[in-house]
Amino acid sequence: MLMLLAPSLNRVYAGEAPRLAAAELAVTTGLEVEPVVIAGVDYLRFEADADEVLLRTVAEQSARLGLYDEAAGLLRPVELPKVDLLDEDLVTIPKYPGKTNEQLTRLLLNVTLSQVALPPGPRTVLDPLCGRATTLLQAWRLGHDGAGVEADEKAVEAFAAYLKTYLRRRRLKHSADMTPVRREGKSLGKRFDAEVAVEGRSLSLGIFTGDTRQSAKLWGKRKFDAIVTDAPYGIVHGSVSDVRGGTRKDRSATGLLSDAVPVWAGQLRIGGALGLSWNTLGTPRERLVGILEDAGLTVRDEGPWRRFAHRVDSSVHRDVIVAVREG
Ligand SMILES: C[S@@+](CC[C@H](N)C(=O)[O-])C[C@H]1O[C@@H](n2cnc3c(N)ncnc32)[C@H](O)[C@@H]1O
pLDDT in tens, the chain (327 residues): 999 999 877 677 778 899 999 999 999 999 999 999 999 999 999 999 999 999 999 999 999 999 999 988 899 999 999 999 999 999 999 999 999 999 999 999 999 999 999 999 999 999 999 999 999 999 999 999 999 999 999 999 999 999 999 999 999 999 999 999 988 888 889 999 999 999 999 999 999 999 999 999 999 999 999 999 999 987 544 333 444 444 444 567 999 999 999 999 999 999 999 999 999 999 999 999 999 999 999 999 999 999 999 999 889 999 999 999 997
- Which of 41, 57, 78 is the endpoint of a domain? 78
Q: What is the pLDDT of residue 230?
A: 97
165 shares a domain with 96: yes
144 shares a domain with 285: yes
User: Which ligand 1 atom sits closest to the C-alpha of 129?
Assistant: 12
Q: Is 66 contained in some domain?
A: yes
Greatest CA span in the chain, whole angstroms? 72
103 shares a domain with 169: yes
Q: Judge contact between 321 and 289, C-beta under 8 A.
A: yes
Tell me how far apart the alpha carbons of residues 228 and 275 are, in angstroms, rounded to a whole number: 5
63 shares a domain with 211: no
Residues within a 6 A CB radius of ligand 1: 98-100, 129-132, 134-135, 149-152, 155, 211-212, 230, 232-233, 242-245, 256
Sign of CA dihedral 31, 35, 41, 47: negative
Q: Is 148 contained in some domain?
A: yes
User: Residue 50's domain spans which residues?
Assistant: 2-78
User: Which ligand 1 atom sits closest to the C-alpha of 105?
Assistant: 6
188 shares a domain with 252: yes
Atom 10 (ligand 1): residue with closest C-alpha?
Answer: 232
Number of domains in the chain: 2
DSSP 278-312: EETTTS-HHHHHHHHHHTT-EEE-SGGGGS--EEE
280 shares a domain with 220: yes
Pocket-testing residue among 107, 129, 134, 138, ligand 1, by greatest number of atoms within 8 A of Cβ: 129
Q: Judge contact between 90 and 132, C-beta under 8 A.
A: no
Pocket-testing residue among 150, 162, 278, 315, ligand 1, by greatest number of atoms within 8 A of Cβ: 150
pTM: predicted TM-score of the whole model, two decimal places: 0.95
CA of 323 to the centre of ligand 1 (A): 20
H or E element, residue 88: none
Q: Is 139 contained in some domain?
A: yes
Q: What is the pLDDT of residue 236?
A: 46
Q: Is 17 contained in some domain?
A: yes
Atom 24 (ligand 1): residue with closest C-alpha?
Answer: 242
CA of 194 to the centre of ligand 1 (A): 20
**DSSP letter (8 states) at residue 65:** E
- Which of 48, 78, 108 is the endpoint of a domain? 78
138 shares a domain with 105: yes
320 shares a domain with 262: yes
- Which of 78, 106, 130 is the endpoint of a domain? 78
291 shares a domain with 149: yes
Contacting residues for 99 by C-beta, under 8 A, at least 6 apart:
131, 132, 134
Pocket-testing residue among 242, 261, 313, ligand 1, by greatest number of atoms within 8 A of Cβ: 242
Q: What is the pLDDT of residue 220?
A: 95
Q: Judge contact between 208 and 181, C-beta under 8 A.
A: yes
Sign of CA dihedral 276, 290, 283, 21: negative
Q: What is the pLDDT of residue 188?
A: 83
10 shares a domain with 157: no
CA of 315 to the centre of ligand 1 (A): 18
Q: Is 83 contained in some domain?
A: no
CA of 229 to the centre of ligand 1 (A): 9
108 shares a domain with 16: no
Strands 268-279 and 224-230, sheet pairing: parallel
Q: Is 84 contained in some domain?
A: no
CA of 32 to the centre of ligand 1 (A): 35
Q: What is the pLDDT of residue 246?
A: 46
Beta bridge partner(s), residue 193: 177, 206
Tell me how far apart the alpha carbons of residues 272 and 123 are, in angstroms, rounded to a whole number: 10
232 shares a domain with 297: yes
Q: Is 319 contained in some domain?
A: yes
